[in-house]
A and B are shown apart, each in its own frame.
Chain A
Amino acid sequence: MVASRFSGTFIRSLSTTGAARAQNNANVNQEMLRFRSVVTPAARKIPGRYGGRHTVTALAGDGIGPEMVEHVKSVFTLAHVPVDFEELNLNSSSIGAGENDLQEAITSIRRNGVALKGNVETKFDDPAFMSRNMELRRSLDLRANVLHCSTIPTIPSRHTGIDIIMIRENTEGEYSGQEHACVPGVVESLKIVTRERIEWISHFAFDYALRHNRKKITAVHKANIQKLGDGLFLKVVNDVAKLYPSIECDAMIVDNASMQLVSRPQQFDIMLMPNLYGNIISNIACGLVGGAGLVSGINIGNDYAVFETGTRNTGTSLVGKNLANPASFLRASADMCKYLGLSEQADMISDAVFRTLTEKLIHTPDIGGKHTTSDMIRSVQEFLIQDMERRSQ
């Protein structure tokens, strides 16, 4: 039974480790704690670990991905994070050799268990060109996509007090890639919904809620129109909810959920969503807390985890300009550290990014500032050095 996979053996309570750390670090406040990575450390032994060091796959992808991976490497070196990167090419220009690149990437991630990834642009004008990102997710069975959207002080945004975990089904639904045109000009698209995967993602969400002291899960659906597809989703979520009576569970239709999200986002705690609605609603939530440059995203399944930015943009227009916001990538790297059990380094990196944004007010243009990427990286490095000095005393 799926539930036993997550229960019991390792409940790590975020609050106790956070409290202990708070006593060490005089500058910790509530907001900074909330900014830290919310990833649950991996339950299983991760394959790519040898001699105390982890090897992770780095797929820089298109756009600003390659620059960002370099920044992460420099931060990791400074913070003495015991992670080595196996860097692979996977981007939209490798069309001819496309298949090989993808297979190499998948093999590497299977070997290492973990990857840090930039986005690979999908040329949607060619139906034969399957989305590389989607192929990756399906081959590695990365069933859940998790984002933590929370208000960050000093970042201009429409609302305050937002703290939502978005849990999105990552492998089926409207993204099944099954389409056909029986008659030219009339296209039929199949949305695949399976009990097995919805059960998995529901258990994932409820277990997450238990582990991280969350109170309520809102399931987003359109079962009034898609009575069978979303109907099955809703039914399975409700069946699983009965097994977790301490967690409140309600449902909201996707259009109403979108409207509520932009007018009163404080009402949401965890949102559990099928693939397409999750895509849209996650992006709305990211927009509400400050945009694509700030939120990181976690793709996770039973065996593998891939870390990336929350909104999966390539940032092509910002390539080489030193203006892209590195926060989302750095936060993704912090998520990865937490998953690997490197909790202290994860928190150090998160805290340095938080302080850079909220104390030094170093903001890149996407959040209304005038600073450059290197300004941010430099500041993160300075805060890291300070933090390490404090810890060594």
Chain B
Amino acid sequence: MLMPNLYGNIIGNIACGITGGPGMSSGMNLGDRHAVFETGTRNTGTSLKGQDVANPTAFIRAGIDMLRYLGCDKHADLISDALWKTIAVDLFHTKDIQGEKKASEIVDQTLRNITAIQRQQ
């Protein structure tokens, strides 16, 4: 979907809403010379601060996007696959996606998955 600014803002948020919410999607801001990576829906999540409950997926995926932009495809894939396994196979979900895991547990599990994948390679 190709959209002007305002409609894109609204429609982007709708699409994020129906695919899991603000904690899941990442967003890229690209120009001819610079790139800035962030979460998809640009929320600050102020009410979740310091409680270890916020979903780190969106931010980690933003990091993955950044690695891909820098050309580090292997590392990007490694982290992306590990994160995917954490969420979709191990079913580690934070509160915003109806789970009970803490943010730190998601991260730790992803680190474990990274190590596991590296050992296989």
Contacts and interface: CB of A to CB of B under 8 A. Distances in A.
Given A256-B13, A259-B16, A276-B6, 15 more contacts: A222-B9, A254-B10, A255-B9, A255-B12, A255-B13, A255-B41, A258-B10, A258-B17, A259-B13, A259-B14, A259-B17, A262-B14, A263-B17, A280-B10, A284-B14
B18 interface: yes
B110 to A, nearest CB: 24
B63 interface: no
A157 interface: no
Nearest to B16: A259
Interface in A274-317: 276-277, 280, 284
Of A158, A254, A256, A258, chain B has the most CB atoms within 10 Å of the CB of A258
A260 interface: yes
Interface string A232-267: 000000000000000000000011101111110000
B88 to A, nearest CB: 19
Interface string B9-38: 111111011100110000000000000000
Chain A interface bracket (under 10, 10 to 19, 20 to 34, 35 or more): 10 to 19
Per DSSP, chain A at the interface is helix
Contacts of B14: 258-259, 261-262, 284
B120 interface: no
A25 to B, nearest CB: 38
Contact of A262 (B7, B9, B18, B43): B18
B10 A255 contact: yes
Interface of B: 6-7, 9-14, 16-18, 21-22, 41-43
Nearest to A260: B17
Contacts of B10: 254-255, 258, 277, 280
Interface of A: 158, 222, 254-256, 258-263, 276-277, 280, 284
B54 to A, nearest CB: 16
A255 B15 CA distance: 11
A353 B43 CA distance: 42
B99 to A, nearest CB: 15
Contacts of A280: 7, 10
Contacts of A222: 6, 9
Contacts of A258: 10-11, 13-14, 17
Given A255-B41, A256-B43, A263 B18 contact: yes
25 contacts: A158-B18, A222-B6, A222-B9, A254-B9, A255-B12, A255-B41, A255-B42, A256-B41, A258-B11, A258-B13, A259-B13, A259-B16, A259-B21, A259-B22, A260-B17, A261-B14, A262-B14, A262-B17, A262-B18, A263-B17, A263-B18, A263-B21, A276-B6, A280-B7, A284-B14
A51 B33 CA distance: 75
Of A158, A263, A276, A277, chain B has the most CB atoms within 10 Å of the CB of A263
Contacts of B22: 259
A164 to B, nearest CB: 15
A69 B14 CA distance: 34
Contacts of B18: 158, 262-263
A255 B13 CA distance: 6
Of B12, B14, B41, B42, chain A has the most CB atoms within 10 Å of the CB of B14
A275 to B, nearest CB: 13
Contacts of A262: 14, 17-18
Contacts of B41: 255-256, 259
Contacts of B16: 259
A280 B3 CA distance: 14
A1 B1 CA distance: 46
B27 to A, nearest CB: 12
A32 B103 CA distance: 44
Contacts of B42: 255
A222 B11 CA distance: 14
Contacts of B17: 258-263
Nearest to A284: B14
Contacts of B11: 258
Contacts of A255: 9-10, 12-13, 41-42
Nearest to B22: A259
A170 B21 CA distance: 30
Contacts of B21: 259, 263
Contacts of A284: 14
A246 B78 CA distance: 55
A290 B10 CA distance: 21
A167 to B, nearest CB: 18
Nearest to A263: B17
A284 B41 CA distance: 18
B13 to A, nearest CB: 4
Nearest to B20: A263
